[in-house]
Amino acid sequence: MPPGDTAPAAKARSPTPAAPAAAPSPAATPAPEPTPAPASKAATPAPPSRHPSVAPEREATPAVETAPSPAPAADQPDGADTVDAEAEGTIDLDTFHQILDLDEDDTHEFSKEMVTAYFTQANTTFGEMEQAYNAKDLTKLSSLGHFLKGSSAALGVARVQASCERIQHYGQLRDEEAGADLTDESALKKIEPLLGRVKKEYIVAETWLKKWYEDNSVPADDGE
């Protein structure tokens, strides 16, 4: 009997080895695999997005350089200053002040009459120059250039004086700057652009002179 009893006892112990089956529970420990938290570290590469932001900043800098350029242009428009700047070479101020010294009072009536007479002379002479040019009358052109040169010099209208002197010499078939003689055809070619140029120079001078008398002349009633 004992051998029969011992057999079942051995069977009763055999189930205990099933306990090792619980060992698979350690396999559950791999569950810590959620450590893919390193993926959160992979997200750290997001900071590189800061570097691209640096690139646009470099592109923006050229725009800053172009912005200041318009600023100087805004400083240029000054009505009176522009006229004065052009008149610096147009009017010989030393000569003009000598004319002003002839005035007896602040009305500047005497010098103003001289300037007004000059305006009339100049406009009449320009018309005669056009007629002489169309007629290819170089002798007349030379004479008119000489006449207006003298009137302009008396008031200090320097640029008109210089252009008229050149017309005078070209009418004499002479280029004094080049030290050469001219043919009729070459003289007329040189005079043609000068006729347009001297008129523009005169307009600048006339504008400056009129403005000067408007700003500096005292009305006759107040001057007495």
pLDDT at 162: 97
Can you give the residue ranges of every domain in the chain? 107-216
Give the integer Cα–Cα distance in Å for 126 and 195.
8
Q: Please give the pLDDT value at position 34.
A: 47
pLDDT at residue number 219: 86
* pLDDT score, position 89: 85
What are 83-135's pLDDT values in tens digits?
454 556 899 999 999 999 999 999 999 999 999 999 999 999 999 999 999 99
pLDDT digit string, tens, across residues 107-121: 999 999 999 999 999
Q: What is the domain class of 107-216 according to CATH? A: mainly alpha
What secondary structure, in 3-state letters, does 174-213 show? EECCCCEECCHHHHHHHHHHHHHHHHHHHHHHHHHHHHHH
161 has pLDDT over 70: yes
Mean pLDDT across the stretch 46-70? Answer: 40
Split at pLDDT 50, 70, 90, the class of 35 is very low
Q: Please say whether the beta carbons of 92 and 156 come within 8 A.
A: yes
Higher-pLDDT residue of 158, 11? 158
- Token readout for 10 is 């051995």
